[in-house]
Amino acid sequence: MSAQTPQILLAHHLKALRLPTFLREYDKLARQCATEGVDHTRYLQRLAELELIDRERRMVERRIKAARFPAVKSLDSFDYRALPSLNKALVLDLARSAYVERRENVIALGNSGTGKTHIAIGLGLAACQKGLSVGFVTASALVHELLEARDEKRVLRLKKQLAAHKLLIVDELGYVPLSPTGAELLFEVFSDRYERGSTIVTSNLPFDEWTSVFGSERLTGALLDRLTHHVHILEMNGESYRLNQSRKRSRVSAQTPDDSATDPD
């Protein structure tokens, strides 16, 4: 029998057991433990810990991919100093994701460009890291998907998929007025999640202007009644972060000397 046979069989077994980190690390770790005088039990403990850590990392990556975030933005990269109106302590508390377990909602309200989407994505990422399933979609895209599903007679299947998310993020509510049918379908999604799952909504409109989006005071009132029953509200009004950054870049460009210009005598 070849001297390589045990290694070949071990590799086969580890692949069959779906232990890729074991397969990748066992030889290197064995040599390290031999040098340190570590016994076989602690060697196996270390190897198992490496497998668990790597497995959790892969699971988080899968949850983030499944959430379909438009970009990966963490709360650590948010500039809280640029938006004094935002309650940073509340945001950091929400990052623990306990509100998701309690099936509570978060609504971020403020004018365009103040970082509502960034905060929503950051909270979504934090939930993914806590082992929770997350879905991200803009309000207009969700309504389009619901209308398409209704026409194809699969709206119940889509609603079931949406309801499966522990946390559903609906971004940019209020940017586009909804048709009566679209408004009713979106209301049904929110209503289905009431006290069954958490929802984050971002909007550029204060609550008293949501009727302009849904086109019905009755529907808007019923929606707000459900969304705000168990809710954390993030006030995010302020100067547009994107506009402020553009102004800073313009000032830097204006202060940069033109290399092509001729120096005066």
Is residue 63 in some structural domain?
no
pLDDT of residue 176: 86
Give the C-alpha separation, 112 to 110, whole Å.
7
- Strand order across the 105-109 sheet: 134-138, 167-173, 198-203, 105-109, 231-235
Is residue 167 in some structural domain?
yes
Quick one: 151 and 206 in the same domain?
yes
Give the C-alpha separation, 193 to 187, whole Å.
10
Quick one: 82 and 199 in the same domain?
yes
Quick one: 85 and 158 in the same domain?
yes
Give the C-alpha separation, 80 to 38, whole Å.
47
Is residue 260 in some structural domain?
no
Is residue 151 in some structural domain?
yes
Is residue 69 in some structural domain?
no
Quick one: 41 and 97 in the same domain?
no
Quick one: 151 and 108 in the same domain?
yes
Give the C-alpha separation, 83 to 71, whole Å.
21
Is residue 61 in some structural domain?
no
With beta carbons less than 8 A apart as the criterion, state whether 99 and 232 touch: yes
What value, to the nearest 5°, has the Cα angle with vertex 132 and ends 126 and 133?
A: 110
Quick one: 43 and 102 in the same domain?
no
Q: Residue 100 pLDDT > 90, yes or no?
A: yes
Q: For 44-63, how does the pLDDT look when each residue is reduced to its tens digit (9 = 90+)?
A: 998 888 888 888 889 999 99
With beta carbons less than 8 A apart as the criterion, state whether 201 and 108 touch: yes
Q: Name the residue range of residue 46's domain.
A: 5-55
The percentage of the chain sitting over the pLDDT mark of 70, rounded to a whole number, equals 89
With beta carbons less than 8 A apart as the criterion, state whether 50 and 79 touch: no
Quick one: 147 and 22 in the same domain?
no
Higher-confidence position of 128 and 258: 128
Quick one: 49 and 121 in the same domain?
no
Number of domains into which the chain is organized: 2
**Distance in Å from the first CA to the final CA of the chain:** 87
With beta carbons less than 8 A apart as the criterion, state whether 127 and 94 touch: no
Quick one: 240 and 120 in the same domain?
yes
Dihedral sign for Cα atoms in the order 93, 95, 101, 105:
positive
With beta carbons less than 8 A apart as the criterion, state whether 240 and 114 touch: yes
Quick one: 138 and 20 in the same domain?
no
Q: What residue type is assigned to position 216 of the chain?
A: S
Quick one: 111 and 23 in the same domain?
no
Tokens of 170: 């609906």
With beta carbons less than 8 A apart as the criterion, state whether 227 and 105 touch: yes
Is residue 18 in some structural domain?
yes
Q: Residue 135 pLDDT > 80, yes or no?
A: yes
Query: What CATH code is carried by the domain that includes residue 140?
Result: 3.40.50.300
Q: Residue 225 pLDDT > 50, yes or no?
A: yes
With beta carbons less than 8 A apart as the criterion, state whether 183 and 214 touch: yes
Quick one: 35 and 142 in the same domain?
no
